[in-house]
Structure 1
Amino acid sequence: MRGDTDETRTRAVSVLESNRRDGYTIPSATLYPFQWNWDSAFVAVGLVRADPAAAKREIRTLLDAQWRNGMVPQIAFWSDAEGYFPGPEEWGIAADRTGGTVRTSGITQPPMVVPAARHVYERTGDESFRDAVLPALRDYCEWWRTERSDDGELVWVRHPWATGMDDSPAWRGPLERFDPGDVEYVREDRKDEDFAAQRPTDWDYDRYVALVRQGRAVDWDEKRLREESPFVVEDVLTNALYVRACESLSEMFADAGDEEQAEEWDAQADATRRALRERRWDDELGLYVSHDLVSDEPLSVPSVAGLLPMLAGVPDDYQRERLRETLSAFLAYDRVVPSYVGPDVDYDRYWRGPVWQNTNWLLERGLRRVGFDEAAARVREDSVSLIESEGFREYFNPETGAGRGSDRFSWSAALYLDWTADDPLSVPDR
């Protein structure tokens, strides 16, 4: 069996090498030809197992696209984007926002880059890497706290793409609230008939594009967008990763001997963790839910995102036991963990049911953090099995195990390297 694993690891390295560009890794050649924020973070987590220097450069290249205000954008267009939609012209972001020449999108993604940088540092022990990235990571976490939080505790996003789980049924309510009008554009992501049925609908995309154009119209003024945008959501996954980002930042500062900064970011992690525990728990569903700040109502949807606060050490004893009960619905599949288990499930459509390697990786670590080791082992076993049977697909059908979406997908290859390492780091330090 180890021979099969070794062969698959060799193929994983090959996928990452073929998707490597000048200092970064594209998610896939099929649909995603640039650098994506949290994709690069997950790539670095696994790439450090095969090529530590490339993993460090992956993180540093992403941070090279950081805006002057601290935001790390969702997409960095390091190469020609002709024919891609929405490209840099659609976003309308001047390159001088980054202090360099790269153009970017106008939104961010969950702050996975911070724990990923901590992970790379753990694996390499490279203090020069740690010291080089710490200022940018601090500025990113500070940007979340000052630009994307109403209370200094929970943070919000203003576009479904910024959640990483853009097609989740959780966003149906906020998106239904506004009429995008006549939005003209040409979709590049549905030209392949095999992908078309798996991607978000035109109804969804009309609203995605309208939100982009609203941001461009006000030159991405965060204050105005907070007041005027119809989509302002405290996303539970983003907040869970924000806690882990603050923890990781604290840990790295402590390693660097800066106790003042270590204490500050540890306190921030505690504040956001407590807010998730006290304000975003849905007892009927038995998990945590996102919150629509425009309508001031919970988005009570049974998504895998609602389990991920375990990664941040959020649950109290009662919530922990309720989560144990809730897990049964997510584990009642031949292959786990589905991204959604509610009435709008579609096992072949993006975030409406398929299994994703990145959320499985986050969940497995969260399960171990709260002591659910048996469930964690199941998640790891199924994640490895899916790749070994179907290849490095973008996502997988939880009932049949069939690989779906793009093939030779980078984070699936990278996380396989971490899943099957001889000494996987499965439990956060806390």
Structure 2
Amino acid sequence: MTLNGAVPGTDDLLAMVGSSLDLIGAPFTLPRSRILVLAVAGGDSGPVTELRVSRAEYERPIDECTVFRTLSVTSADGSVLPVTGVLPHVIEFGDGVVTLTFAGPHALSIGADGSAAELRLESPDGEVRLVPLGADSESVQIHVDDSRLPELRRSGDHWEHVAETLGVWAAWMDRCPRVRPDLQQMTAFCWWVLGANIVELPGQGKARAVVPSKIGYVGLWQWDAYFIAVGLRHGDPDLALEQLDLAFRFPTADGQLPDVVHDEGVLASSDDLPPQDRETLRRHGSSIADPARPVPLTKPPLAAWALRKVLDAAAPADAGSAEERWTEAAWDTIARSQDWWFTHSDSDGDGMPEYGHPYSSGLDDSPIFDGDLPLASPDLGAYLVLQDRELAREFAARGDRHKAQRFNDRADATLAGLLGMWDQPTGRFRARAAGHSLASYSAVSLLPLLTGELPSEISATLLRALADPEQFGTPWTVPTVAVCDPDFSPERMWRGPVWININALLVEGLKRSGFDDNASQLAEDTVRLVKHGGGPHEYFNPESGRRAETATTSFGWSAALFVDLAVSLST
């Protein structure tokens, strides 16, 4: 690894993270905790004086999960003490006169340095509680249970909790990959994001799920789990495997993997949604399922891609061990899920599976879904080829030549069907909606590069499209819809903004297709975008390089894939 300088210690990394903890896009939280502390939105750019305490919950906006609407601190003379410092383990008020930390995953601890002060807490219903802090007062703990009803307790253990919280974050940051100096600070912040997004799923035996975001996405989405695991493997391969274990834990009887694993179960079909949402979802479903029956919901088949990467980074499993048995079972689960696509999601029986609902694509708002369903899309074809090749490799290693041949033969057939989507006059792959070719020109046309098996003239055409300013060569690339497409929007989700997962897949596709220099350049462009944009946001404006207005901050797969790209660029 080329670092060109002193390798930063854990204290250095914690300080790097502190510079990014603004309590707006990056909340104060703790691995495994549901508690979030955020700045109260104000109308000026002065110091933060009021904080909000919330609890992260599945499918509930953060504004609906408020524990305390405001938390503030005043000194003995009645003046409000502003927030003067934020580190991963502590928030300081008034240069450390009062500090806030965690007392384990389910409580906050607030204490003073001996000076008299007062804690003010305002509940969502407007009730105000004033709690003294100071030399003669013990610290205060705010306990938050699953019902979000807070309980205040007195304690004398505040400074022990400060040390314990520091220990938790130091242990996490010690696993942060050391990378090139120009990438280290953002890598440290992205690694913090991954730790900050760890929650326990009580319904799954308190399993650790690294969620997309504690601000709005509190569950384990299948696709997100794959991308997040790819980044985690560089510092915590065991946690990476835990994400895959959760994603693989609940296949349906016919092999389909669920879209989401959450506190109360899974989301695998429209019947797993609240009743008021079911009919709306079914109206947007396809003829793959009878309109009177549930719409299956899953995510694109990148399970084998992710598992292979994580296993390559993990310690080899001992023969006959529980780890080896789990790995074999995981590959069998992936094989069944792959069969599901061909058996249950190919409505016209042409050998090219289709998306039966936009949710199952991961590209929910893409213009390719403006027309009819089901949708045969070139990205899905590419993923299926890639997954069957990985399955063939696995079963060949087991000595099962029959299965290996079956997977390779199916990959060959899918690749032929994928090449049938190539439109020579326009130089692009076209999706087909209910059998009709679509004019929509999006990044799904580029993703067949992932196969590494395209004819050279097609690969070269896609390479030119990536560089063309009228197609995908925007100032900050790669837009998810081509600039020349009438549906292009630099701000609207999946209709133009840059997504880090699509860029990362294209980096790999360029490598697989023999364009190593172009792959390295796109990787450099991608990490430069995240640095320029101020962090691992959900998606970015391709013209300004800034966070798109509606994009979530501190987003899991953006953080994980920045780490992955930073490691590859530092090797």
Which TM-score tier does this pair reach, normalised by the shorter chain?
0.7 to 0.9
Deviations 1:100-140 (A, max 9, x none): xxxx9941111112211111112225341531311111110
Deviations 1:297-348 (A, max 9, x none): 1112221110100101342133223223322334522211010011211111
Structure 1 residue 419, shift from structure 2 partner: 0.2
Alpha carbons of structure 1 residues 173 and 392: separation in structure 2 relative to 1, 3 Å:
same
Task: Identify which of 121, 126, 130 aligns with 2:311.
Answer: 121
Match of 1:276 in 2: 418
Match of 2:444 in 1: 305
Task: Identify which of 400, 408, 411 aligns with 1:266.
Answer: 408
Q: Which has the higher contact order (CA 8 A, sep 6+)?
A: 1
SS in 2 for 1:237: helix
Alpha carbons of structure 1 residues 251 and 80: separation in structure 2 relative to 1, 3 Å:
closer
CA distance in 1, matches of 2:570, 2:526: 14
User: Residue type matched to 2:349 in 1?
Assistant: D
Equivalent residues of 2:230, 2:310 under 8 A apart? yes
Match of 2:542 in 1: 398
Q: Do structure 1's residue 346 and structure 2's residue 489 form an aligned pair? A: yes
Q: Which moved more, 1:119-128 or 1:46-55?
A: 119-128
Structure 1 residue 151, shift from structure 2 partner: 3.3
User: Residue type matched to 1:138 in 2?
Assistant: A
CA distance in 2, matches of 1:336, 1:70: 36
Q: Do structure 1's residue 168 and structure 2's residue 314 form an aligned pair? A: no
SS in 1 for 2:301: coil
CA distance in 1, matches of 2:315, 2:335: 19
Task: Identify which of 335, 350, 356 aligns with 2:499.
Answer: 356
Task: Identify which of 399, 414, 417 aligns with 2:560.
Answer: 414
SS in 2 for 1:56: helix
User: Residue type matched to 1:124 in 2?
Assistant: A
Structure 1: any 5+ residue segments left out of the alignment? 93-103, 175-230, 426-430
Task: Identify which of 491, 494, 518 aligns with 1:375.
Answer: 518
SS in 1 for 2:371: helix
SS in 2 for 1:23: strand
Match of 2:299 in 1: 109
Alpha carbons of structure 1 residues 19 and 86: separation in structure 2 relative to 1, 3 Å:
farther
Match of 1:315 in 2: 454
Match of 2:252 in 1: 67
Deviations 1:367-397 (A, max 9, x none): 1222223332221111111222220100111
Structure having the larger proportion of residues in strand: 2
Match of 2:341 in 1: 144
Match of 1:213 in 2: none
Match of 2:531 in 1: 388
Task: Identify which of 207, 210, 213 aligns with 1:25.
Answer: 210
Deviations 1:48-74 (A, max 9, x none): 111000001100111112212100111
Structure 1 residue 412, shift from structure 2 partner: 0.6
Deviations 1:29-55 (A, max 9, x none): 222111111111111111111100000
SS in 2 for 1:421: helix
Task: Identify which of 463, 470, 488 aligns with 1:324.
Answer: 463
Structure 1 residue 173, shift from structure 2 partner: 2.3
SS in 2 for 1:393: coil
Structure 1 residue 9, shift from structure 2 partner: 1.9
Instruction: Give me the identity figure in percent.
Output: 30
CA distance in 1, matches of 2:271, 2:567: 37
SS in 2 for 1:400: coil
Equivalent residues of 2:345, 2:356 under 8 A apart? no
Structure 1 residue 365, shift from structure 2 partner: 0.9
Structure 1 residue 78, shift from structure 2 partner: 2.6
Given the two structures, how large is their TM-score scaled by the length of structure 2? 0.58
CA distance in 2, matches of 1:407, 1:4: 22
Q: Do structure 1's residue 50 and structure 2's residue 50 form an aligned pair? A: no
CA distance in 2, matches of 1:24, 1:256: 30
Structure 1 residue 80, shift from structure 2 partner: 8.5
Alpha carbons of structure 1 residues 422 and 325: separation in structure 2 relative to 1, 3 Å:
closer
Q: Which moved more, 1:411-420 or 1:120-129?
A: 120-129
Structure 2: any 5+ residue segments left out of the alignment? 5-179, 200-206, 279-293, 318-323
User: Residue type matched to 1:10 in 2?
Assistant: A
Match of 1:191 in 2: none
Equivalent residues of 2:388, 2:410 under 8 A apart? yes
SS in 1 for 2:274: helix
Given the two structures, how large is their TM-score scaled by the length of structure 1? 0.76
SS in 2 for 1:382: helix
Structure 1 residue 285, shift from structure 2 partner: 2.9
CA distance in 2, matches of 1:358, 1:28: 15
Structure having the larger proportion of residues in helix: 1
User: Residue type matched to 1:388 in 2?
Assistant: K
CA distance in 2, matches of 1:249, 1:364: 22
CA distance in 2, matches of 1:424, 1:267: 37
Alpha carbons of structure 1 residues 259 and 121: separation in structure 2 relative to 1, 3 Å:
farther
Structure 1 residue 86, shift from structure 2 partner: 9.9
SS in 2 for 1:76: strand
CA distance in 1, matches of 2:543, 2:237: 36
RMSD: 2.4
Q: Do structure 1's residue 158 and structure 2's residue 356 form an aligned pair? A: yes
Match of 1:204 in 2: none
Task: Identify which of 349, 369, 376 aligns with 1:234.
Answer: 376
Equivalent residues of 2:395, 2:403 under 8 A apart? yes
Equivalent residues of 1:384, 1:416 under 8 A apart? yes
User: Residue type matched to 1:16 in 2?
Assistant: L
Q: Which moved more, 1:22-31 or 1:46-55?
A: 22-31
SS in 1 for 2:208: coil
CA distance in 1, matches of 2:559, 2:345: 32
CA distance in 2, matches of 1:232, 1:87: 21
Alpha carbons of structure 1 residues 67 and 86: separation in structure 2 relative to 1, 3 Å:
closer
User: Residue type matched to 1:133 in 2?
Assistant: A
Q: Which moved more, 1:231-240 or 1:44-53?
A: 231-240
Q: Which moved more, 1:415-424 or 1:296-305?
A: 415-424
Size of the alignment, in residue pairs? 352
CA distance in 2, matches of 1:233, 1:418: 31
Equivalent residues of 1:88, 1:105 under 8 A apart? no
User: Residue type matched to 2:552 in 1?
Assistant: S
Alpha carbons of structure 1 residues 11 and 235: separation in structure 2 relative to 1, 3 Å:
same
Equivalent residues of 1:246, 1:268 under 8 A apart? yes
User: Residue type matched to 1:416 in 2?
Assistant: F
CA distance in 2, matches of 1:145, 1:161: 18
